[in-house]
Structure 1
């Protein structure tokens, strides 16, 4: 089995819905170019698929991707949410050009070719996964990099929440991004213990326009407690009541998953 992604076709929608926002924002990184995030969703069936995929990601793909210039790679399984068993792989790229160049860089990496051979030579009777989907995202203008706290590097006790907000048109989608990126919503998150990992505008996907972000928690009880605190925060209550910023005004739905990190995940 040859592992390949038609990356150029994914870029067809990458320039659509670009968001131009203000020059101030929470923890802005002046001059930084927003990362491009590749989110791979491997759908599995119960059995040896997970072991085969883990071996490829841990031993071959992640080391080679880092050598090729990718940022820390996150690997997660769906604990609560649709379509389990599923493995999600978050790959930060410095730019769209780097995203496009990754297959060639991997092909030129001899160590990768050797370690990935069992994955590539899988037969239809023993495939390493059932199906693969790829979503491409661009980091927010003022949240340009994945954030990794000391706690996020402790694989022993943590979970992640992956949320996607859908909007009915580009203007509404840009407004929702602005609420996070320059409107103070991220700082309200931080104040209430909703620890961000990344925020991004979706460039590809089935329900554009949309945005996706990830949060980290030590456990489910803390997640529930901190979300309650956020919901009652006075600044949040004022923001969400502002005409034009209410959920009915700018969002049409929310997708949500609770994820567990793989032991070898770098996020």
Structure 2
């Protein structure tokens, strides 16, 4: 699915793609759009070639185009290894759609990406590429970029059975107090977003960051025993069986050149 098809599918689904969202809001408070690229790889030279392309060609060009900072992570725990996850924040959906044209008009990008772009079917640059498009929550409209010290990320997607249930789960995080409990118990957000595209919509996706796995485990235990959380999750209409059908979870590690 190309970018315009992704945008069209999201618009048909009625998922927060209003003119006001795209153009009218002040840039400082506008809800970012997140492009999550999942490059599936095969063991061998693919990883080094993709690393070189992302580090030397794509990321510098994306920044020149006004998007970023760009995060690049490997899967430490999850079903997709070997693969690279590339997270690209865009100021608006229009910037996401415009990115391919900006790349093809960027002479420095074309020079740096030449060998990657000339890959043949006999020696492909990756096994497959999937792109998911997300829009930041209203009360967390911009990514919170963590420091560059040793860290891991947790990427979680919550699925719901219907649009009303998905909207309720988003509100539970965004205005219902769950995100505040996250922060208080050590679950530090990078972003929270509504999924605009995907195979199991409706859904939401968020990313957390931790210094290491022991810190992550302690934070989740603290969260699980928090009185405010226990009260919230027991509220009629907000229980897991009523509004969620499943959770996908991955632990990611940033590459040395990741900007996130």
Place the TM-score, normalised by the shorter chain, in its bin.
Answer: over 0.9
Distance, in Å, in 1 between the alignment partners of 2:158 and 2:71 is 21
Distance, in Å, in 2 between the alignment partners of 1:165 and 1:234 is 22
Match of 2:94 in 1: 97
Deviations, residues 180-228 of structure 1 (Å, cap 9, x unaligned)? 1111111100111111000000000000000000000111111111100
* CA pair 17-249 structure 1, distance change in 2 beyond 3 A: farther
- Map 1:93-242 onto structure 2 (within 5 A): 93-150=90-147, 153-154=148-149, 157-242=150-235
* CA pair 119-30 structure 1, distance change in 2 beyond 3 A: closer
- What TM-score, normalized to structure 1? 0.91
**Is the 2:27–2:91 Cα contact (8 Å) retained in structure 1?**
no
Q: How many residues align?
A: 251
SS across alignment from 1:77: strand
Gaps of 5+ in 1: 21-28
SS across alignment from 1:14: helix
Match of 2:15 in 1: 18
Gaps of 5+ in 2: 18-25
Match of 1:51 in 2: 48
- What TM-score, normalized to structure 2? 0.93
**Is the 1:19–1:174 Cα contact (8 Å) retained in structure 2?**
no
SS across alignment from 2:50: helix
CA RMSD of aligned residues (A): 1.6
Match of 2:72 in 1: 75
**Is the 2:74–2:252 Cα contact (8 Å) retained in structure 1?**
yes
Distance, in Å, in 2 between the alignment partners of 1:234 and 1:50 is 45
After the TM superposition, which of the residue ranges 169-178 and 126-135 deviates more from structure 2?
Answer: 126-135
